C-alpha cells in the first residue's frame, strides 16, 4: 500500500515536471511573438500582406547559413515579413527536403542542385518566370523546366586544378606526358604533385566531369551513355582520362587515406603542389598562413585549358505552398537579388560571384576571382556532374575508384568498371 502511494506520488511529480517544461517552452515563445508584432507595428508603411505569411527557407549551403540568418533579420526590419532560415549539418539535405515535401510540410523556399534534382522534383516547383529580375540572370544559368524558370541560381562556382604558383607552372603540366613528368619530378623533390581525397565527389565525382565536359556535345553523349549506345572504354577522352588517373595513382599519395581537411591542409602548407578542387575550398585555407599565391587551371585532358564553371545550387519556391506563402517566398528572393541590402549580403557576406545584371562584387577571394576571370574570358566548360544518373557517384562510382586505388588494375580495366557502373545505375 505504502509503495503504491509512493509510486503514485512519483508519477504525479513527473507529470507536474512535464507540465512545467511545456509551459516553460511556451513562455519562452510568447515574448518572441510579441516582439515580431511590435516590429511589424513599428513599420506602419511596410506592405501588410506579407506580414500574414511567415515562411521557412531551407537550404543546403552550410557556409552561408549564419549570414543568411542575418539577412533574414534585416529583411524583417526593412519589410516586416518574417523568414525563418533552416539548414542541415549532414549530407542528407535532399533526403530531409524530400521527406518534408512528401508529407506536405515542405518549406516555402528551398535549394536544389540543377539537373537531376530539379528534374526529380519538377512537380513540386513553382514557376518563377514572373520574378522582376528573371530576365537579368546571366544566359543559361537559371534552372528551367518545361519552358519555365523554376530555379534562381545562387552563384557560379568553378573547379579544376588548384595549384601553388611557386611550385607548379601550368604550362609544365599541359598534357598527359608533361603532367606525368610533373608528378614524377615533384615526387623526386619530396612533394606530392597532385591530390585527391576520399570523399565521393573529391575522389571521382568532380574529376570525371572533365572527359564529358571537353566534348562538343556533352549532353548528347551522356544520353547515349545512359542508353548504352556508347562505351567509355571506346571513347578517346575517357581512355586519356583513365591514363591520367593511373598516373595519379602511381605517382602520388593514396587518396583513400586522405580526407578533405588533410588534402587542403597539405596544399596550404606546401606539401602538395596541386589539388583537384574548386573556389569553395578557399574557406579551408583561411585557417592557415598561406605563404604562396594560388591559381586555378583546367584539367589538361585533350589539351583542355578551361575550368568547369556552372551553378551549384538554385533557389526554388514550393509549388505546393499556399499563394500567400509562395508570394512571400518570391518576394524574399527578389529582395535578396535586387535591394541594396540584399545585394550587399549576396556579394559581400556570402562571397558569391554575381550572376544577375547590375550586381558587382569588389571583394572576391583569389580563387573566386580566378573563376570570375575565366568566365569573363569565356574559358569555361560545363558540369556533367549535374547530369549524372541519381545516386551514381556514391553507390557505383566510388566503389570503382576504391577498387582502382587499392589494386593494380589497368586503365582499360578501370574503364570497363566505369561502364559497368553506368549500366548498373541505369538499371541494366
Partner 1 sequence: MRKTSAGWYMLFVFPLFFIFSTVVLAPFFMGIIYSFVSWDGLPLNPKTFTGFDNYLKMLSDARFVSSSLRTAYFTLISIVAINVLALAFALVATTSLKARNVARTMLFMPYLIGGLILGYIWKFILGDAFKALGEATGLSSIFFNWLIDPNFAVFALVVVTTWQMAGYVMIIYITGIQGIPEEVIEAAEVDGAGFWTKLIRIKFPLIMQSFTICLFLSISSCFKIFDVNLSLTGGGPYNSTEMFAMNIYNEIFSLNNYGYGQSKAIAFFLAAACLTLAQVVITKKKEVEIQ
Q: Name which of 333 and 425 has its Cβ closer to partner 1.
A: 425
The reply on whether position 400 binds partner 1 by CB under 8 A is yes
The reply on whether position 254 binds partner 1 by CB under 8 A is yes
The reply on whether position 250 binds partner 1 by CB under 8 A is no
Q: Name which of 101 and 168 has its Cβ closer to partner 1.
A: 101
Q: Name which of 226 and 402 has its Cβ closer to partner 1.
A: 402
Supply the minimum distance, in Å, between the C-beta of residue 154 and partner 1.
Answer: 23
Q: Name which of 320 and 341 has its Cβ closer to partner 1.
A: 320
83-112 mask for partner 1 (x: CB under 8 A)?
Answer: ---------x--x--x--xx----------
In the sheet with 143-145, reading across from the earlier edge strand, the strands are: 83-86, 55-58, 109-112, 314-317, 148-153, 143-145
Q: Name which of 145 and 339 has its Cβ closer to partner 1.
A: 145
343-382 mask for partner 1 (x: CB under 8 A)?
Answer: ----------------------------------------
Supply the minimum distance, in Å, between the C-beta of residue 112 and partner 1.
Answer: 13
The reply on whether position 395 binds partner 1 by CB under 8 A is yes
Asked if 255 and 123 count as a contact pair (C-beta separation under 8 A), the reply is no
Q: Name which of 63 and 394 has its Cβ closer to partner 1.
A: 394
405-424 mask for partner 1 (x: CB under 8 A)?
Answer: xx-----------------x
Among 391, 410, 412, 428, binds partner 1 (CB under 8 A): 391
Among 66, 130, 394, 412, binds partner 1 (CB under 8 A): 394
Among 390, 410, 412, 428, binds partner 1 (CB under 8 A): 390
Supply the minimum distance, in Å, between the C-beta of residue 398 and partner 1.
Answer: 7
Q: Name which of 178 and 407 has its Cβ closer to partner 1.
A: 407
Among 105, 120, 166, 410, binds partner 1 (CB under 8 A): 120
Number of shown-chain residues binding partner 1 (CB under 8 A): 25
The reply on whether position 124 binds partner 1 by CB under 8 A is yes
Binding site for partner 1 (CB under 8 A): 92, 95, 98, 101-102, 120-121, 123-124, 254, 256-257, 390-391, 394-395, 398-400, 402-403, 405-406, 424-425
Amino acid at each position: 500500500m505504502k509503495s503504491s502511494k509512493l509510486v503514485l506520488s512519483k508519477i504525479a511529480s513527473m507529470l507536474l515536471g512535464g507540465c512545467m517544461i511545456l509551459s516553460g517552452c511556451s513562455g519562452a515563445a510568447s515574448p518572441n511573438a510579441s516582439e515580431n508584432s511590435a516590429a511589424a507595428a513599428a513599420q506602419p508603411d511596410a506592405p501588410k500582406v506579407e506580414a500574414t505569411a511567415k515562411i521557412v527557407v531551407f537550404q543546403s549551403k552550410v557556409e552561408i547559413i549564419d549570414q543568411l540568418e542575418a539577412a533574414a533579420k534585416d529583411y524583417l526590419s526593412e519589410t516586416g515579413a518574417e523568414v525563418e532560415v533552416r539548414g542541415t549539418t549532414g549530407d542528407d539535405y535532399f533526403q530531409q527536403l524530400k521527406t518534408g515535401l512528401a508529407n506536405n510540410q515542405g518549406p516555402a523556399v528551398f535549394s536544389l542542385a540543377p539537373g537531376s534534382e530539379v528534374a526529380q522534383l519538377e512537380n513540386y516547383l513553382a514557376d518563377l518566370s514572373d520574378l522582376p529580375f528573371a530576365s537579368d540572370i546571366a544566359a543559361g544559368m537559371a534552372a528551367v523546366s518545361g519552358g519555365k524558370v523554376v530555379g534562381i541560381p545562387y552563384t557560379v562556382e568553378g573547379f579544376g586544378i588548384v595549384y601553388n604558383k611557386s611550385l607548379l607552372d601550368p604550362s609544365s603540366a599541359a598534357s598527359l606526358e608533361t603532367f606525368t613528368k610533373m608528378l614524377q619530378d615533384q615526387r623526386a623533390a619530396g612533394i606530392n604533385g597532385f591530390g585527391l581525397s576520399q570523399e565521393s565527389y573529391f575522389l571521382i565525382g568532380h574529376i570525371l566531369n572533365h572527359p564529358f565536359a571537353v566534348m562538343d556535345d556533352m549532353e548528347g553523349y551522356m544520353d547515349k551513355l545512359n542508353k548504352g549506345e556508347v562505351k567509355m572504354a571506346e571513347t578517346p577522352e575517357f581512355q586519356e582520362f583513365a591514363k591520367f588517373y593511373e598516373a595519379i595513382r602511381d605517382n602520388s599519395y593514396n587518396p583513400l587515406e586522405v580526407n578533405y581537411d588533410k588534402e587542403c591542409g597539405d596544399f596550404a602548407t606546401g606539401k602538395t603542389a596541386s589539388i583537384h578542387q574548386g573556389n569553395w575550398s578557399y574557406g579551408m585555407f583561411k585557417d592557415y598562413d598561406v605563404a604562396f599565391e594560388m591559381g586555378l587551371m583546367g584539367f589538361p585532358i585533350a589539351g583542355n585549358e578551361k575550368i568547369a564553371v556552372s551553378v551549384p545550387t538554385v533557389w526554388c519556391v514550393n509549388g505546393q505552398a499556399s499563394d500567400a506563402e509562395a508570394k512571400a517566398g518570391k518576394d524574399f528572393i527578389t529582395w535578396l537579388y535586387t535591394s541594396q541590402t540584399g545585394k550587399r549580403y549576396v556579394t559581400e557576406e556570402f562571397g558569391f560571384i554575381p550572376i544577375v545584371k547590375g550586381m558587382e562584387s569588389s571583394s572576391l577571394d583569389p580563387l573566386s576571382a580566378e573563376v570570375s576571370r575565366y568566365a569573363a574570358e569565356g574559358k569555361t566548360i560545363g558540369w556533367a556532374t549535374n547530369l549524372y544518373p541519381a545516386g551514381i557517384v556514391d553507390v557505383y562510382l566510388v566503389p570503382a575508384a576504391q577498387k582502382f586505388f587499392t589494386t593494380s588494375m589497368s586503365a582499360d580495366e578501370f574503364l570497363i568498371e566505369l561502364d559497368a557502373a553506368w549500366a548498373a545505375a541505369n538499371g541494366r
